[in-house]
Amino acid sequence: MKALIPAAGLGTRFLPATKAQPKEMLLVVDRPAIQYVVEEGLASGADEVIIINSYGKKAIEEHFSPDPELVKILKERGKADLAALVEYVGSLNVSYVYQTEARGLGDAVCCAANEVGDERFYVLLGDVLVPKNNMLPQMKVVSDAHGGASVIAVMPVPDDQVSRFGVIAGVEVSNGVWKVTKLVEKPAFEDAPSNLGVFGRYLLSPRIMEILKTIEPGVGGEIQLTDALDALLAEEEVYALVIDPNDGYDTGTPESWLETNNTLFELRKSENRIWAR
């Protein structure tokens, strides 16, 4: 199974920090945000992580490329632990496809249609970190129990935040698992069918790629993955898993990025995992 990480966005909420540096490369405690997401995909049973990149963001590719020269220098200076860290990052199984224009999340996912083929696949949005790597495996259990159906992670969101998310309607079929009957991207609070917001982790049926090719631009003039999932409901079952809000950390705005840095830093300290260098 492949894991897709869309990363071709402009990072406008973080300007000017993202003028010369991709948002995905911003530091979260000890590594760039996107490294958590790649590690999560690989830890969740994906055989390959495919980053959907834009041509301008070379720093992401450089981060995941081997750097024998740096490794050599570090070893010569007696920094074997850091050399191992650099070798490890360069060895992660990451490849790239390119989105030429920022036409929305649905369009970005569709750029990897050939790589995905006819298998289910994961989509991981980089704005959300799941350091325990425990969300996708739970979603796979739900998918397997329902004949390989698509599963999306959702969480209850406060009323004043509903319009920031994709929102589902559905029926709870077992503890925390909903059979989805409708999806709406960024509804006004009055139009939202529930307060369950889509939370940046998806396990999708390959059929969604065909649907994405036919979807018209939606909210914000962008091709929305949420709209394609709503259309998929006419053909296939879709489930939603209500996730524990403590398992996911938002880094999508400067405020939430700072809070996530603080929380994860405190967590690391309590686990005694701050490194001597």
Does residue number 64 form part of the binding site for ligand G1P (CB under 6 A)? no
Here the tokens at position 180 are: 């989805």
226 binds ligand G1P (CB under 6 A): yes
Using CB under 6 A as the criterion, what x/- string covers residues 249-268 for binding ligand G1P?
Answer: ---x----------------
Q: How far is the CB of 200 from ligand G1P (least distance, A)?
A: 3
Judged by CB, which is closer to ligand G1P: 35, or 224?
A: 224
Residue 199 contacts ligand G1P per CB under 6 A: yes
Query: Is there binding between residue 54 and ligand G1P (CB under 6 A)?
Result: no
48 touches 101 (CB < 8 A) = no
From the CB of residue 179, how many other CB atoms can be counted at a distance below 10 Å?
A: 17
C-beta of 271: minimal distance to ligand G1P in Å? 27
Among 50, 94, 105, 129, binds ligand G1P (CB under 6 A): 105
202 belongs to the binding site for ligand G1P (CB under 6 A): no
Query: Smallest distance from the beta carbon of 164 to ligand G1P, in angstroms?
Result: 7
* Residue 130 binds to ligand G1P (criterion: CB under 6 A): no
The correct pick among 165, 178, 202, 257 for binding ligand G1P (CB under 6 A) is 165
Q: Are strands 94-98 and 48-53 parallel, antiparallel or unpaired?
A: parallel
CB nearer to ligand G1P: pick between 32 and 200: 200
- Is 35 a binding residue for ligand G1P by CB under 6 A? The answer is no
Q: Binding ligand G1P by CB under 6 A: which of 22, 126, 200, 248? A: 200
Amino acid at 86: V
Query: Is residue 166 near ligand G1P by the rule CB under 6 A?
Result: yes
User: According to the binding rule CB under 6 A, does residue 149 interact with ligand G1P?
Assistant: no
Q: Which of 37, 31, 36, 29 is nearest to 6 (CA)?
A: 37
Residues in the interface with ligand G1P (CB under 6 A) total 14
Question: Which CB atom, from 71 or from 122, has the smaller least distance to ligand G1P?
Answer: 122
- What is the C-alpha to C-alpha distance for residues 41 and 123, in angstroms, rounded to an integer? 9
Nearer to ligand G1P, 149 or 153 (CB): 153
Strands 249-250 and 238-242: unpaired
Work out how close the CB of 229 gets to ligand G1P at its nearest, in angstroms, rounded to a whole number.
Answer: 9
Q: Please pick, from the candidates 24, 185, 227, 230, the single residue that binds ligand G1P as defined by CB under 6 A.
A: 185
Q: Choose between 83 and 192: whose C-beta lies nearer to ligand G1P.
A: 192
Residues that bind ligand G1P (CB under 6 A): 105, 125, 128, 165-166, 185, 197-200, 224-226, 252
